[in-house]
């Protein structure tokens, strides 16, 4: 599982430009799927028949956050805007890379007295001496992403950009390779543009028409110094989401997830997130409504270049999902 | 219809946003005697259908009008259990933490409800600064009167917490309770359904008790998709006058308040106002320049669009446990809703757009 | 139907009736009554069937509604209190002329302000607040004002469409009557696939009409034709200029409501190059438009936005360059041509 996460987090795929990620994932799942297709927004939709007609949709998003180039200054600096939730704290003097391989440094300009930090004070230095050279290296509208490579931390943890949500993509791929025999029809959707508003899940749920939807995503682990956003900790098992700002998990789904955790013999946590949402928020509103839930992977430093998850939590999440799907 | 006893019972029933399943079953039973068919959909919306009593002349499909009022209530949920056994909470829907010091609540656990008290620092220990500060969620804690171990054995993170606020009758036909938002508008729909037993109507009339309005009109959105109505008629509470209110932001308590604004089909609204006039129903107009903050926002853009009107039931002290409504106004809203349904005839949409 | 007529029609979000009628008549004339309809939000949807069904089904959208003001109440002295329909900065409202109501019942009004001589230091320095501004129609008391402008009455900017400078025009509602103007001129555009022309309602109050239009048509591709904000004059740093009137229609790679389909975005640029249509890239991310709604309606569509740069957007005196308007049409036609090339 860890190697799969590292393989997936290395692929370039900010919101709206996920095709490379979709290509890699497709190559890993197509043998298991009865049908694989892409839709207008680049979602990768894989359907695997089951022994039941019930259609169970899993959503794990392929996209990660980035910075889109809006302007090149006369001196060759690139000005940017956020794609998804960019945290200024995580964006000063960071190594970044573009789709075509060009690398640079994301920095903040020197601020005047009383001037506040904002996205508009950031710039990317790609070593161009002027506007013309900059625009010969990248185009306006190209997207830069944090470029740290993945690395291991402690006994069982891994850190990388894009762990949100490639770790869940890895989880979903593993699930597809370990499905119990008696199960509903599984539609695994590797969604696009979650970070900019759950857009991929909105349109894919419409065409998939699921009876139930489960989002797989990271959630904030609050076990770092002075952080008190929720009661979720790294290493204490996957988190069953009760509520976030975009969805209230269906109580029946929550109960079945907890029953699955017990059946699998794995610990679980209960999660309430005061802000943030997952693809469940989009799936639930599709057509005549869909009962939804989210299984969350606890993650430290979400939306940074060093998002950290625990491999024990990942393995337990997989065991829980296998029991969840089993009829 | 005995509106007071419906309000007393319904406002006391458990139905926080997202957890309306049991309430939906009870509401289904309330509509069954008045409608031809009632079912509960995938989102726990109650959809009650009263078929037309008049056959359309040309054999065309009858116009479908869908009334919507939401059944969910705002509440709290448990976000943490402290070392001393007290509970931390956050709102489910838009809740003002300031109303909670010295309030009592029920914490709904897997094994049943627990009585809880939301603490308030004794005045003797308050500093001048303390008194000036507004209470925030981080300041609130629920006291269950049990030691931490006992609490942890019973209470889980994510458990629902509902407010205490049983109905009390006030002077001049007014009543106060929690959750008049929006069960008082469900009362309007039941009242209208009852009146329709005695009226002829060419339209198919659907009453939808929607879910999860308080977090974004979700039930109405998916309910309108399933029902696919020709006309949307949304009922929700609106702000009644109070001292110090900003000008033009409230309406009097004693009359229904239809809304005009960008999301409201203006010719349909003209028709509604004619219905009010012809039936001697006093109304006060309210303006929503854009977003209305009600289920109307979601009904209006369902599928390929639904011409929609919105009628507000004035209510004082919204989202507190002492919401006040005027019973006669509920009746007048019901009368307006029923009369409007009866006024929808074939060809109602002839000049809707040009 | 010329741009001047379209800009001078009055139709704020929710009451696009006058624009709707004008658009409907032209569509019926060009495509036949059986191919033109209204959807549940009052958008006009005109369909031109495909001659080659293998080509993508394209929805072209422009919104009929404009921003403005709405009456909420009247003062005892007969002045009208207002709110805004759509996003309007109160600072552009001082000392302007407006029209209150529609059709034969409309009356002229003015938005006044306390004379400079009598303003305190504090007031002079403060920005005007919307709830302190009033419209004066000359009514002598509250009853007369409420009679002429009951709650909900729309109040539009009163601006005469004026050509000025070297090919510039000053008018109200360039956003998005330029789009409507061009969409009408696209009714006979060369394209072999199905074309769905969506003249949408209520874009300015949340992209409302486009969701319904996108849902019903379920196109493969959506192209929004808009008027967008140019911020190029004064001492604005380059980073914030957004786009420059006179340099052609601008193509957006992203705004707050959508990320353009990357391949489609590149195709539009390439089409502009190949057909020699001047164009620019919108260099700031701001605002939203119908493309965002079309992209997410139903099973989704690939979308892109082509806009005419407009200075002073959402004010009584917006300004654009007429060459950009014609080039928006040319770029849309070029895009359709290149879509046919596959």
Comparing CB atoms, the residue among C239, C262, C300 nearest residue A203 is C300
According to DSSP, the residues that pair with C45 across neighbouring strands are C37, C198
In this complex, do C41 and B290 lie within 8 Å of one another by their Cβ atoms? Answer: no
CA A60 vs CA A21, A214, A242, B135, B250: distances in Å: 12, 9, 18, 39, 45
**Does C42 lie in the same domain as C92?**
no
Q: Which stretches of chain C score pLDDT less than 70?
A: none
Chain C residues with CB-CB distance to B301 below 8 A: 41, 208, 211-212
pLDDT of A103 reads 97
- Tell me how far apart the alpha carbons of residues B302 and B335 are, in angstroms, rounded to a whole number: 27
User: Is residue C240 situated within a structural domain?
Assistant: yes
In this complex, is the C-beta atom of C59 within 8 Å of any C-beta atom belonging to chain A?
Answer: no
pLDDT of A317 reads 98
Q: Which residues of chain B have a Cβ shorter than 8 Å from any chain C Cβ? A: 246-248, 260-266, 285-287, 289-291, 300-301, 303-307, 352-354
When scoring A42, A65, A71, A281 by the number of chain C Cβ atoms within 10 A, the one with the most, hence best to mutate, is: A71
Q: How many other β-carbons are positioned within 10 Å of the β-carbon of residue C172?
A: 23
CA A319 vs CA A46, A316, B276: distances in Å: 21, 5, 61
In this complex, is the C-beta atom of B92 within 8 Å of any C-beta atom belonging to chain A?
Answer: yes
First to last CA, chain A: 25
In this complex, do C284 and A81 lie within 8 Å of one another by their Cβ atoms? Answer: yes
Residue pair B75/B92 in contact by the 8 Å Cβ criterion: yes
Catalytic residues of B: 213
In this complex, do B262 and C202 lie within 8 Å of one another by their Cβ atoms? Answer: yes
- φ, ψ (nearest 5 deg) of residue B251: -130, 160
- Please list the alpha-helical segments (H only) found in chain C: 3-8, 17-31, 121-125, 142-148, 174-185, 208-217, 262-274, 290-296, 322-341
Smallest Cα distance from B252 to chain C, Å: 15
What torsion do the CA atoms of C273, C275, C278, C282 make, to the nearest 10 degrees? -60
Smallest Cα distance from A269 to chain B, Å: 9
The structural domains of chain B, with segments of one domain joined by +, span: 3-73+178-343, 75-163
Residue pair A299/A162 in contact by the 8 Å Cβ criterion: no
Residue A36 tokens, joined = 């694989």
Class of A68-146 in CATH: mainly beta
Smallest Cα distance from C330 to chain B, Å: 30
pLDDT tens readout for residues A158-194: 999 999 999 999 999 999 999 999 999 999 999 999 9
User: Is residue C145 situated within a structural domain?
Assistant: yes
Identify the domain boundary among C112, C132, C157. C157
DSSP codes of every residue in C139-162: -SSHHHHHHHS-TT-EEEE----E
CA R_g for chain A: 20
In this complex, is the C-beta atom of B17 within 8 Å of any C-beta atom belonging to chain A?
Answer: yes
Comparing CB atoms, the residue among B265, B287, B301 nearest residue C212 is B301
- Tell me how far apart the alpha carbons of residues B22 and A180 are, in angstroms, rounded to a whole number: 33
Q: What is the CATH number of domain B75-163?
A: 2.40.30.40
Residue pair A297/A139 in contact by the 8 Å Cβ criterion: no
| pLDDT higher than threshold 80 for residue B52 | yes
In this complex, is the C-beta atom of A270 within 8 Å of any C-beta atom belonging to chain B?
Answer: yes
Q: What is the CATH number of domain B3-73+178-343?
A: 3.40.630.10
Number of folded domains in chain C?
2
Per-residue pLDDT, averaged over B217-223, amounts to 97
When scoring C58, C219, C252, C259 by the number of chain A Cβ atoms within 10 A, the one with the most, hence best to mutate, is: C259
pLDDT of B342 reads 97
Residue pair A83/A135 in contact by the 8 Å Cβ criterion: no
In which band, very low, low, confident or very high, does the pLDDT at B59 lie, cut at 50, 70 and 90?
confident
| pLDDT higher than threshold 80 for residue A239 | yes
Beta-carbon-side half-sphere exposure of residue B306 (alpha carbons within 13 Å) = 31
- Tell me how far apart the alpha carbons of residues A326 and B4 are, in angstroms, rounded to a whole number: 49
Residue B124 tokens, joined = 């003797």
- Predicted TM-score (pTM) of this structure: 0.93
Measuring CA to CA, which residue among A198, A145, A167, A160 is closest to residue A298? Answer: A167
Q: Of the listed A18, A47, A194, A271, which one is catalytic?
A: A194
Burial of B135 (0-12, 13-18, 19+ CB in 10 A): middle
pLDDT of A74 reads 95
The structural domains of chain A, with segments of one domain joined by +, span: 2-64+161-325, 68-146
**Which 8-state DSSP code applies to residue A90?**
G
Tally the residues of chain B.
354
**Does C177 lie in the same domain as C52?**
yes
CATH classification of the domain holding C107: 2.40.30.40
* Residue A120: closest C-alpha in chain C: C239
Beta pairing class for B257-261 and B286-288: parallel
**Does C108 lie in the same domain as C46?**
no
CB pairs under 8 A between A and C: 68
Quote the ipTM score. 0.90
In whole angstroms, what separates CA A178 from the centre of its chain?
A: 21
**Does C144 lie in the same domain as C30?**
no
Chain B residues with CB-CB distance to A236 below 8 A: none
Q: Domain A2-64+161-325 belongs to what architecture? A: 3-Layer(aba) Sandwich (3.40)
Residue B21 tokens, joined = 């399943």
- Tell me how far apart the alpha carbons of residues B144 and B151 are, in angstroms, rounded to a whole number: 8
In this complex, do C85 and B307 lie within 8 Å of one another by their Cβ atoms? Answer: no
pLDDT tens readout for residues A263-272: 999 999 999 9
- Tell me how far apart the alpha carbons of residues B323 and B278 are, in angstroms, rounded to a whole number: 31
When scoring A41, A63, A98 by the number of chain C Cβ atoms within 10 A, the one with the most, hence best to mutate, is: A41
Comparing CB atoms, the residue among A248, A269, A272 nearest residue B90 is A272
According to DSSP, the residues that pair with A301 across neighbouring strands are none
In this complex, do C205 and B263 lie within 8 Å of one another by their Cβ atoms? Answer: yes
pLDDT tens readout for residues B249-283: 999 999 999 999 999 999 999 999 999 999 999 99
| pLDDT higher than threshold 80 for residue B169 | yes
Q: In what order do the strands lie in the sheet with A239-243?
A: A35-38, A44-48, A185-191, A55-61, A212-220, A292-299, A239-243, A269-272
Measuring CA to CA, which residue among B93, B94, B145 is closest to residue B116? Answer: B145
Residue pair A80/A124 in contact by the 8 Å Cβ criterion: yes
pLDDT of C287 reads 86
pLDDT of A22 reads 98
Q: What share of residues in chain C are helix, strand, coil (percent, to 5)? A: 35, 25, 40
Smallest Cα distance from B353 to chain C, Å: 6
- Tell me how far apart the alpha carbons of residues B202 and B65 are, in angstroms, rounded to a whole number: 10
pLDDT tens readout for residues B123-161: 777 788 888 888 888 889 999 999 999 999 999 999 999
Beta-carbon-side half-sphere exposure of residue A173 (alpha carbons within 13 Å) = 27
Chain C residues with CB-CB distance to A70 below 8 A: 239, 283-285
CA A104 vs CA A98, A122, A148, B186: distances in Å: 9, 13, 12, 60
In this complex, do C42 and B265 lie within 8 Å of one another by their Cβ atoms? Answer: yes
Give residue C93's domain range: 68-157
In this complex, do A40 and C301 lie within 8 Å of one another by their Cβ atoms? Answer: yes
Query: Under DSSP, is residue A139 helix (H, G, I), strand (E, B) or coil?
Result: coil
Comparing CB atoms, the residue among B265, B290, B307 nearest residue C85 is B290
When scoring C18, C22, C40 by the number of chain B Cβ atoms within 10 A, the one with the most, hence best to mutate, is: C40
Q: Is the peptide bond before A165 cis (omega within 30 degrees of 0)?
A: yes
Measuring CA to CA, which residue among B299, B220, B235 is closest to residue C41? Answer: B299
**Does C316 lie in the same domain as C202?**
yes
- Chains in contact with C, where contact means 3 or more Cβ–Cβ distances below 8 Å, are A, B
DSSP codes of every residue in B36-56: SEEEE-TT--EEEEE--SS--
- Chains in contact with A, where contact means 3 or more Cβ–Cβ distances below 8 Å, are B, C
Per-residue pLDDT, averaged over B9-16, amounts to 96
* Residue A274: closest C-alpha in chain B: B90
- Percent of chain A at pLDDT > 90 equals 97
In this complex, is the C-beta atom of A100 within 8 Å of any C-beta atom belonging to chain C?
Answer: no
Measuring CA to CA, which residue among B249, B254, B316 is closest to residue B284? Answer: B254
Report A:121-150 residues touching C (Cβ under 8 A): 140-141
In this complex, is the C-beta atom of B72 within 8 Å of any C-beta atom belonging to chain A?
Answer: no
pLDDT of A294 reads 98
* Residue B286: closest C-alpha in chain C: C151
């Amino acid at each position: 599982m860890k190697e799969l996460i590292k393989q997936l987090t290395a692929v370039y795929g900010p919101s709206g430009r996920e095709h490379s990620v979709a290509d890699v994932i497709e190559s890993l799942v197509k043998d298991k799927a009865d049908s694989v297709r892409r839709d207008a927004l680049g979602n990768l939709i894989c359907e695997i028949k089951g022994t039941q007609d019930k259609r169970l949709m899993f959503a794990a998003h392929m996209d990660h956050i980035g910075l889109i180039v809006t302007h090149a200054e006369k001196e060759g600096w690139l000005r940017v805007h956020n794609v998804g939730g960019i945290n200024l704290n995580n964006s000063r003097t960071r190594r970044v890379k573009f789709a075509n391989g060009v690398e640079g440094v994301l920095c903040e300009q020197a601020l005047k007295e009383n001037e506040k930090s904002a996205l508009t004070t950031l710039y990317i230095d790609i070593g161009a001496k002027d506007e013309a050279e900059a625009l010969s290296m990248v185009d306006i509208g190209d997207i830069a992403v944090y470029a740290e490579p993945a690395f291991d931390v402690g006994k069982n943890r891994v850190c990388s950009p894009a762990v949100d949500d490639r770790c869940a993509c890895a989880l979903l791929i593993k699930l597809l390779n370990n499905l119990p025999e008696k199960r509903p029809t599984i539609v695994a959707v590797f969604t696009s543009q979650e970070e900019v508003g759950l857009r991929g899940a909105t349109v894919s749920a419409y065409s998939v028409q699921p009876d139930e939807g489960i989002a797989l995503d990271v959630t904030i682990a609050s076990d770092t110094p002075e952080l008190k956003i929720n009661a979720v900790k790294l290493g204490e098992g996957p988190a069953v989401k009760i509520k976030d700002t975009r969805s209230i998990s269906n109580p029946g789904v929550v109960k079945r997830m907890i029953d699955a955790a017990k059946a699998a013999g794995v610990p679980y946590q209960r999660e309430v997130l005061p802000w943030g949402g997952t693809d469940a928020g989009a799936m639930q509103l599709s057509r005549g409504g869909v009962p939804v839930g989210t299984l969350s992977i606890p993650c430290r430093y979400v939306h940074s270049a060093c998002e950290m998850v625990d491999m024990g939590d990942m393995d337990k999440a997989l065991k829980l999902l296998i029991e969840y799907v089993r009829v | 219809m005995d509106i007071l006893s419906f309000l007393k019972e319904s406002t006391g029933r458990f139905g926080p946003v997202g957890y309306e399943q049991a309430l939906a079953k009870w509401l289904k039973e309330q509509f069954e005697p008045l409608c031809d068919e009632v079912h509960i959909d995938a989102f726990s919306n109650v959809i009650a259908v009263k078929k037309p009593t008049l056959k359309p002349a040309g054999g065309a499909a009858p116009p479908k009008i869908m009334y919507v009022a939401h059944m969910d209530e705002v509440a709290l949920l448990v976000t943490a259990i402290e070392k001393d056994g007290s509970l931390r909470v956050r709102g489910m829907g838009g809740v003002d933490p300031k109303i909670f010091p010295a309030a009592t609540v029920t914490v709904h656990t897997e094994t049943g409800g627990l009585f809880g008290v939301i603490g308030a620092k004794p005045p003797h220990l308050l500093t001048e600064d303390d008194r000036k500060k507004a209470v925030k969620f981080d300041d609130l804690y629920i006291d269950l009167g049990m030691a931490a171990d006992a609490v942890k054995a019973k209470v889980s993170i994510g458990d629902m917490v509902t407010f205490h606020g049983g109905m009390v009758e006030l002077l001049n036909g007014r009543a106060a309770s929690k959750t008049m938002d929006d069960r008082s508008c469900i009362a309007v729909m039941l009242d209208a359904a009852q009146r329709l037993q005695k009226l002829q109507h060419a339209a198919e009339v659907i009453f939808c008790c929607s879910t999860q309005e308080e977090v974004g009109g979700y039930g109405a959105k998916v309910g309108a998709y399933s029902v696919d109505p020709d006309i949307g008629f949304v009922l929700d509470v609106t702000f009644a006058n109070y001292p110090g209110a900003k000008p033009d932001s409230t309406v009097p308590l004693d009359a229904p308040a239809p809304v005009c604004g960008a999301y409201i089909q203006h010719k349909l609204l003209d028709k509604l106002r004619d219905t009010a006039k012809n039936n001697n129903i006093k109304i006060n107009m309210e303006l929503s320049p854009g977003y209305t903050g009600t289920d109307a926002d979601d009904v209006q853009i369902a599928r390929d669009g639904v011409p929609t009107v919105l009628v507000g039931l004035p209510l004082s002290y919204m989202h507190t446990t002492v919401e006040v409504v005027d019973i006669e106004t509920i009746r007048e809203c019901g009368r307006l809703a029923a009369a409007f349904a009866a006024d929808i005839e074939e060809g109602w949409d002839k000049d809707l757009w040009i | 139907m010329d741009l001047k007529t379209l800009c001078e029609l009055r139709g704020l979000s929710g009451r696009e009736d006058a624009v709707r009628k004008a658009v409907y008549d032209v569509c019926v004339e060009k495509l036949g009554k059986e191919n033109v309809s209204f959807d549940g939000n009052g958008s006009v949807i005109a369909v031109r069937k495909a001659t080659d069904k293998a080509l993508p089904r394209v929805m072209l959208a422009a919104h009929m509604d404009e921003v403005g003001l709405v009456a909420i109440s009247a003062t005892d002295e007969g002045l009208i209190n207002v709110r805004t329909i759509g996003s309007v900065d109160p600072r552009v409202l001082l000392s302007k002329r407006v029209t209150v109501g529609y059709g034969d019942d409309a009356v002229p009004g003015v938005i006044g302000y306390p004379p400079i001589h009598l303003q305190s230091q504090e007031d002079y320095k403060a920005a005007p607040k919307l709830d302190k501004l009033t419209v004066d129609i000359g009514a002598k008391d509250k009853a007369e004002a409420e009679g002429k402008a009951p709650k909900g009455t729309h109040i539009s900017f009163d601006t005469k469409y004026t050509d000025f400078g070297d090919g510039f025009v000053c008018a109200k509602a360039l956003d998005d009557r330029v789009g409507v103007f061009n969409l009408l001129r696209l009714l006979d555009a060369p394209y072999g696939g199905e074309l769905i022309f969506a003249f949408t309602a209520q874009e300015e109050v949340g992209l409302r009409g486009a969701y319904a239009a996108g849902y019903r048509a379920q196109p493969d591709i959506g192209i929004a034709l808009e008027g967008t904000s140019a911020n190029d004059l004064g001492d604005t740093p380059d980073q914030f200029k957004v786009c420059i009137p006179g340099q052609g229609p601008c193509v957006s790679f992203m705004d707050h409501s959508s990320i353009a389909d990357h391949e489609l975005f590149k195709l539009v640029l390439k089409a502009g190059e190949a057909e020699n249509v001047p164009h620019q890239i919108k260099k700031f991310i701001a605002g939203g438009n119908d493309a965002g709604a079309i992209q997410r309606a139903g099973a989704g569509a690939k979308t892109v936005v082509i806009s005419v740069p407009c200075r002073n957007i959402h004010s009584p005196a917006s300004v654009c360059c007429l060459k950009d308007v014609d080039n928006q049409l040319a770029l849309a036609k070029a895009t359709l041509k290149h879509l046919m090339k596959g």
